């Protein structure tokens, strides 16, 4: 199995964690997790031939980066290579080494979390609204040849995200669909930037809103 396929399959299990997987002498994160690490730790995003985003850091800096990720209020799942080898591919096998779990809470803490959850729902909805507004703003003067294809798709996706965010009790499968739509928006923004339909500043401003939106979903 290719690394990217392995990552995506495991990500389905750890959808509420930042998933980092060892690949040789580096730990690697893909797509949404890569973007989060890009924003909170400053890692350079690399666009792969598969169309996926990736960031990586040396094994030696794991503890430092773990602390910074935790300080930003994210949970993390770490997967290490083992000394066992796959008989078919000859590649090293991997196993989950650490997963930060949510501890059982007493009633007082639980009640507090419910209040916080309501606040987070409000923030999530606000960020989704900001995304719709920003998408419509930056695509207002897009070239006609993209206006009824890329632009329409981009605008429709942002509205769909807003509609789904209005659902207060999103389940795991619904979150997966939401992440997929967010990722599609990011790809379309890259294309619009490459065709000079939007500016670097506009792309960056929209990326920041997307980052805030993702953080609200995870939290």
Residue appearing with tokens 């009633």: 107
- Alpha-carbon distance of 114 to 131, in angstroms, equals 26
User: Is the pLDDT confidence value at 111 over 60?
Assistant: no
Range of the domain at 81: 3-99
In which band, very low, low, confident or very high, does the pLDDT at 170 lie, cut at 50, 70 and 90? low
For 40-69, write each residue's pLDDT tens digit.
888 888 888 888 889 999 999 999 999 888
Using DSSP bridges, classify how beta strands 26-30 and 53-58 pair: parallel, antiparallel or unpaired. antiparallel
- What is the average per-residue pLDDT within 115-130? 67
| Shared domain check, 180 and 136 | yes
In the chain, the percentage of residues whose pLDDT exceeds 90 is: 23
Question: Which residue among 64, 99, 134 closes a domain?
Answer: 99
Please give the pLDDT value at position 163.
Answer: 87
Residue 19 tokens, joined: 């998933």
| Shared domain check, 93 and 118 | no
Count: domains in the chain:
2
């Amino acid at each position: 199995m290719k690394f990217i396929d392995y990552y995506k399959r495991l990500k389905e299990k750890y959808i509420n964690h930042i998933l980092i997987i060892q690949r040789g002498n580096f730990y690697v994160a893909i797509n949404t997790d890569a973007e989060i690490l890009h924003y909170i730790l400053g890692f350079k995003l690399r666009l792969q031939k598969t169309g996926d985003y990736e960031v990586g850091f040396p094994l030696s800096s794991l503890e430092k980066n773990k602390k910074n990720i935790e300080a930003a209020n994210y949970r993390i799942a770490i997967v290490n290579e083992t000394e066992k080898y796959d008989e078919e591919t000859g590649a090293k096998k991997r196993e989950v080494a650490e997963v930060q779990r949510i501890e059982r809470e007493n009633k007082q803490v639980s009640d507090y979390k419910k209040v916080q959850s309501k606040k987070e729902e409000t923030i999530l909805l606000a960020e989704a609204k900001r995304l719709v507004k920003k998408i419509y703003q930056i695509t207002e003067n897009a070239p006609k040849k993209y206006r009824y294809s890329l632009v329409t798709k981009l605008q429709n996706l942002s509205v769909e995200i807003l509609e789904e965010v209005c659902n207060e009790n999103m389940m795991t499968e619904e979150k997966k669909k939401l992440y997929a739509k967010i990722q599609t928006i990011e790809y379309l923004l890259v294309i619009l930037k490459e065709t000079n339909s939007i500016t670097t500043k506009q792309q960056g401003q929209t990326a920041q809103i997307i980052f805030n939106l993702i953080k609200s979903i995870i939290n």
